[in-house]
Structures are given as C-alpha cells and as structure tokens.
Amino acid sequence: MITRQRLAAGVCALLAALAAGIAFPGGAVADETQTAAPKVELVLDVSGSMRARDIDGDSRMAAAKQAFNEVLDATPQEVQLGIRTLGANYRGNDRKEGCKDTAQLYPVGPLNRTDAKTAVATLQPTGWTPIGPALLKAADDLNGGDGTRRIVLISDGEDTCQPLDPCEVAREIAAKGIGLTIDTLGLVPDAKTRDQLSCIADATGGTYTDVRHKEQLSSRVGQLVDRAADPVVTPVATEGAAQCEKAPALKSGLYTDREEFGQQRWYKVAVDPGKELRASVSVADDRAVGPNYGVLLRAVTEHGREIVRGEAAGTGRTDVISTGLRYPKAGSDDDNAPAETVCLQVTNSFAAAAGVKTTPGLPLELTVDVVDGPSGHHDVASFGLGRGWWLLGTLVLIGFVAGVLWGWLSRWRVAIWRTN
C-alpha cells in the first residue's frame, strides 16, 4: 500500500495505469476525493544522542526545536496535528523501562500554536530510542476518521528496543489497511540508522530523507505536513479470495489488499454489454526480496476466455511493480442483456530474501474502472492487439513490398555494372 515511494495510494494507482497504457478518462476511479480532516503526528527522538552538536554548529535537539516551531507557524488550518516523543522522560539504565518511554506531548487535534510551542520548548535529550513502541502508540493516536493520516518520524539513531523490529511494526500498521503513511528523517545518520528508517518508510509507502542542516530539516517537515492536506483518493480495503467463486464483487474504485509471497488473489467485476473493464494492479516489495520476480493480472470470463498481462524484473531492485489490462464486453441488441462476470486474478512470483519475514503479505493496490466501450462488436479473443492487427499487417505488407523493390533494384544495379 507501494522515492522510494510506494505505492501512496494515488501514486501507485497512476503507476499501474501508465503501465497498462490506460489513463482513466472522464470519471474518477473512486467516488470522491478525501475531504475529511487530515491528521499528522510528529514523532521526535529525544534520546541522549540528540545532544550531539553536529548540525550547523548546534545540537540536534536545538535544530529539531527550531524546525518544529517553524512548522507549527506554517501548518495549514485544516490539518489536525499532534506531537509524540520517544526517549524523553526515563533517565535510567533499565532497558524494559526505557522501552516504554514514549509519550504524547501534544494531542492530535486542532492546533493551538502557543501551547504546542510551549510543550516543545520543555524537551531535553534524555534516554532510550524506542522507535517501535512509539510507532504503535502514534498509530493509535491517529485512529478514527476518514482523512489522510501521516506519521513524521525524526530520529538520529537505531531503535534500542529489539526484538520489537520497527520495520515489522510498520508493516503491521500498513497491513491494517487504515491508509497511514510513515515518513522518516534521519539526523546525521549512520548506515544502520539510514537502513532502518528507510525500511520503516518503505513499509507504508512513505519517504526517507537524510538531514544534515537546520534549513533542510524545517523545509522537509513542512513539506510533509503540507502534503497531508492535499486531496487524495482514499483506497477501499478489500480481501481477495483463493478462487473466483468466493471473490469479492468490486465496482469502479481503488482497492487495497495484502498478498502473500507467491500467492494468487481473486476478485470479480460485473461488466455490462457495451462496457469496457480497465483494471491495473501494483504490488510493492516493502522488504528485501530475491531476484527474478513478477506480477500477472489475468481476466477470465464466464465463457472461459482470458486476457493475461504481466510485468517482470530481473536482479534490479524495484519498489513497485505494476501491470494492467482492458476487457471490452461486446454490445448487444437486447437492452435487458445481463452483465458478464469477469474474474480478475492477481499472481506474484516474489520470494523473500533470506531471514526476511513473509508476514504480513505484500501491499497490493487494484484499480478497477468500468467505462463505455469502443463502438462496434468486439470479441474478447481478438483483444490485446485489437486494431493493432491492422497495423501489424500493414507493416508486414510494407516490409514485403520494400524487400521486393530492394531486391529488384539491387539486381538491376548489378546488371548495369556488368555491362559497363
């Protein structure tokens, strides 16, 4: 659900549409764009390492406070914003207690800038780095409502509360299908910190940013808060079945699901005579996977005819792999002709890298659109190249004629050369 940029919901749908060559005309693929109040929670690492003075000659904590104050001044009125800390209160050496040290500094809701700035001013670098527990709590803070939900995590080090792996926590949050995105920023990060924060962002379709200057930190956090206020198409969570007979019936819209490694999922769509089904799918590899993988999208009609489209990758690392297809249902002279059920099968050939957990499944986004079909009667068996057969035939004919002419001219030139 996949920049490293996911599949955010609208971006992945667009990638899939482009892969299928089917930019959706006319109506939108969902009933409406999101108008509910967007929610953002800034999650700040206040562990002891934030005392380090390596950001423009000042401490990391001072840079974070300055960035927060600037962002609070510029936060759009419609955004409900909250602030959560990790490692801000417990100063001891008890790991169990240190891993509980996350608190909501300012509740998610309409922003009172004075109160929020006052709360930020009290922060002092203190203890541990419980990123996983903080993310779980932040997801609860943003629970409820239908608007965009975004966590912006700012940290300068790895989580110190293993084995609660924050990457696994992020995947579990994404698997809930609540449309929550986690963006991460690393303050002067080392390689391990960068890898962990990137993994967290990838799991939810968020972004990761290296930060080494105050201005860069303020600018990036501000961009992410502003982004939450942008209108988006809200995907609908669904659950595909192991066979078409039990598959959920989908209408035009954007849907999210989870698919296990090497699994296939079925969905079905009713297509009226004279209409055309346009479907595309994106599957995000939100963790390390083996090479040579792909995604297939297969449409099967009640009469056993099928269209299959796929996309594959070799040894390169991709974040989202997409494919799509179009199925035109032939028109009918009978106004009361029934709709035809088209079964959509999504299959992936991903394999988890060694030591990587296979649960939860990979994030999947499916776009379905049923539109007015092309004029005339079309048989699904001829679809694919469609009118492209005419183009192919024309090209073959042109090639044949050109070959004959070239051969004749060559022989003519040789004959003239011999006579001279």
Residues 302 and 219 in one domain: no
Give the pLDDT confidence score for residue 332 in this predicted structure: 62
Please state, in angstroms and as integers, the Cα–Cα distance from residue 325 to each residue in 47, 173, 222, 280, 312, following that order.
Answer: 50, 30, 39, 6, 15
Element holding 280 (H helix, E strand): strand 275-284
Summarised one tens digit per residue, pLDDT across range 396-405 is 777 777 777 7
Residues 252 and 199 in one domain: no
pLDDT mean over 156-184:
88
pLDDT mean over 265-284:
93
Residues 189 and 262 in one domain: no
| pLDDT-above-90 percentage for the chain | 52
Is 178:146 a contact under the CB 8 Å cutoff?
Answer: no
Give the pLDDT confidence score for residue 356 in this predicted structure: 86
Summarised one tens digit per residue, pLDDT across range 332-373 is 656 677 889 999 999 999 998 888 888 899 999 999 999 987
Give the pLDDT confidence score for residue 379 in this predicted structure: 45
Q: How many CB atoms lie within 10 A of CB 209?
A: 20
Summarised one tens digit per residue, pLDDT across range 41-50 is 999 999 999 9
Phi, psi (5° rounding) for residue 377? -100, 130
| pLDDT-above-70 percentage for the chain | 81
Question: How does the average pLDDT of the chain come out, rounded?
Answer: 83
| Residue 283 confidence (pLDDT) above 70 | yes
Q: Considering only residues 96 and 332, tell me which one the structure prediction assigns the higher pLDDT.
A: 96
**143, part of any domain:** yes
Please state, in angstroms and as integers, the Cα–Cα distance from residue 315 to each residue in 49, 199, 354, following that order.
Answer: 38, 19, 15
**Tell me, what CATH number does 158's domain have?**
3.40.50.410
Domain boundary among 228, 257, 289: 228
Residues 205 and 259 in one domain: no
Give the pLDDT confidence score for residue 285 in this predicted structure: 85
**24, part of any domain:** no
Give the pLDDT confidence score for residue 139 in this predicted structure: 95
Domain boundary among 196, 228, 260: 228
Give the pLDDT confidence score for residue 31 in this predicted structure: 44
Summarised one tens digit per residue, pLDDT across range 122-149 is 999 988 899 999 999 999 999 887 788 9
Number of domains in the chain: 2
Residues 136 and 256 in one domain: no
pLDDT mean over 98-104:
91
Residues 60 and 93 in one domain: yes
Residues 133 and 198 in one domain: yes
Q: Considering only residues 161 and 11, tell me which one the structure prediction assigns the higher pLDDT.
A: 161
Name residue 180's amino acid: L
pLDDT mean over 269-280:
92
Of 10-14, 40-44, 93-97, which one has max mean pLDDT? 40-44
Quick one: pLDDT band at residue 418, thresholds 50, 70, 90? low
| Residue 25 confidence (pLDDT) above 50 | no
Sheet (strand 80-86) strand order: 102-109, 80-86, 39-45, 149-155, 180-187, 208-211
The parent domain of residue 257 ranges over 236-382
- Closest of 223, 200, 85, 44 to residue 208, by C-alpha: 200
Is 226:194 a contact under the CB 8 Å cutoff?
Answer: no
Of 102-116, 287-301, 348-362, 395-409, which one has max mean pLDDT? 102-116
**Tell me, what CATH number does 362's domain have?**
2.60.120.380
Q: What is the DSSP letter of 33?
A: B
Cα 127 to chain centroid distance, Å, stands at 34
**16, part of any domain:** no
Give the pLDDT confidence score for residue 26 in this predicted structure: 39
Give the pLDDT confidence score for residue 386 in this predicted structure: 42
Q: Considering only residues 61 and 29, tell me which one the structure prediction assigns the higher pLDDT.
A: 61
Residues 65 and 119 in one domain: yes
**23, part of any domain:** no
| Residue 116 confidence (pLDDT) above 60 | yes
Quick one: pLDDT band at residue 330, thresholds 50, 70, 90? low
Residues 282 and 367 in one domain: yes
**268, part of any domain:** yes
DSSP for 343-358, written as a single string: EEEEEE---BPTT---
Q: Biggest alpha carbon distance in the chain? A: 104
Q: Considering only residues 58 and 96, tell me which one the structure prediction assigns the higher pLDDT.
A: 58
DSSP for 106-142, written as a single string: EEEES--HHHHHHHHHT----S---HHHHHHHHHHHT
Quick one: pLDDT band at residue 94, thresholds 50, 70, 90? confident
Q: What is the DSSP letter of 273?
A: T
Give the pLDDT confidence score for residue 56 in this predicted structure: 94
Residues 180 and 248 in one domain: no
